[in-house]
Amino acid sequence: MKHALVVVLALAGCRERDLATDARTAAPAIGAASTRILYPSAPGSFVDLVAGARHGVVAIRAAAPVKSGPAAMFPGAPEQVADVALGTGFLIESKGVFVVTTDHIATASTELHVVLPDRTEVPAKLVGRDLQLDLALLSVDVPRLQPLPLGSSDDLQVGEWLVVLGDPFGDDITASVGIVSATGREGAGSLAAGRMMGFRTFIQTDARIHRGNSGGPVIDTAGQVVGVAVATSDRLGELSFAIPINRVREIVDALRDYGQVARSWLGVLVMPVTPAQVQALGLLKPSGALVTELKAGSPAARSGLRPGDVILKWGDREVDHRSLPWIVAATPVGKPTNVLVWRNRAGAQLSVVTEKMPE
């Protein structure tokens, strides 16, 4: 009886993998909503998942050897060993097919090459950089490349399986597996002026991410990219981080068209509205972003916002403490925006003009 149960579970796992493969085949390249078909529990193998995504993973190389790259990871190798290997990237669709990787990889050499999935090595051009997110966009003059489908990092749940793919040396795909340790959705407050986005903004995972697969895709069990791998250290046991793919979606057009990202700045600190505060504030439900502090001389201070206000809507979009920083950042600099706030147990309309986020 025990053997029969094992067989039934194994066959169920095969059907789940077939569904996941079908989902990858049918998934749109970018932007469109898609159904996420996930394993209900740990699959017996990730072989099919890796095979279905390898067409979109590339290696990034320098034209001349660079020190402290992936070659220095080998046990016993000196840290200053030189090699042309820089790291990993992946193909993305954005009015053409481009390569996404991390900025620290893309700027490690003045001349970049990309090793495509068919092992063809081609020159690459640095199109755009975002230092705050440590992201870079490269272009390659090659037709009929197949990008990876993008998922939604906002749908991730703690405990969900992730697969990190890499191609550090341009000769084989590497993979590591783990779960979502933290989603990063509660860390939007670390989107602040003058510094790189903090670790609380990133996805945390126990999947191994080293400098060789830094810049590579982090995929869910539907075969969709939900993050960009970021290597923080090669020391075992440290947390691994990934840039949420929704942050990439927000800036890829700007990187492609302008080579950089101009984020807007409001200058407030916000917290969630707790159920206990709903009655005290006279709100109908625990929604919005509670303003706790205004930065001196900021657009928020000039607009008449006050500590204790609850920002309910930014333009025509409802907001909370997590979504507000990203929505503000994506607002065109200098554009007046109607903002609905809750103040003195009633709604009030303010006009806010954002500024470019200080460096």
d(CA 282, CA 279): 5
Instruction: Considering the candidates 55, 68, 104, 155, report the single residue annotated as catalytic.
Output: 104
Tokens 């947390």 sit on residue: 239
Closest CA to 87 of 226, 231, 248: 231
Q: Is the dihedral of CA 9, 11, 16, 21 positive or negative?
A: positive
Instruction: Considering the candidates 153, 176, 214, 240, report the single residue annotated as catalytic.
Output: 214
Encoding tokens for residue 268?
């407030």
What's the gap between Cα 239 and its chain centre? 16
Q: E-assigned strands of 121-260?
A: 121-130, 135-139, 161-166, 174-182, 203-205, 217-219, 225-230, 240-244
DSSP label at 150?
B
Is 210 marked active-site? Answer: no
Amino acid at residue number 255? L
Closest CA to 55 of 98, 97, 91: 91
Closest CA to 275 of 265, 286, 283: 286
Is 3 marked active-site? Answer: no
Is 134 marked active-site? Answer: yes
Q: Three-state secondary structure along 89-113?
A: EEEEECCCEEEEEEHHHHCCCCCEE
DSSP three-state, residue 45: coil
Encoding tokens for residue 66?
């660079």
Radius of gyration of the chain (CA): 22
Give the residue ranges of DSSP H helices in 30-74: 47-53
Instruction: Considering the candidates 83, 103, 130, 134, report the single residue annotated as catalytic.
Output: 134
What's the gap between Cα 56 and its chain centre? 17
d(CA 53, CA 37): 15
Which helix (H) or strand (E) covers residue 301, if one does? helix 299-303
Closest CA to 60 of 210, 215, 240: 215
Cite the active site residues.
Answer: 104, 134, 214
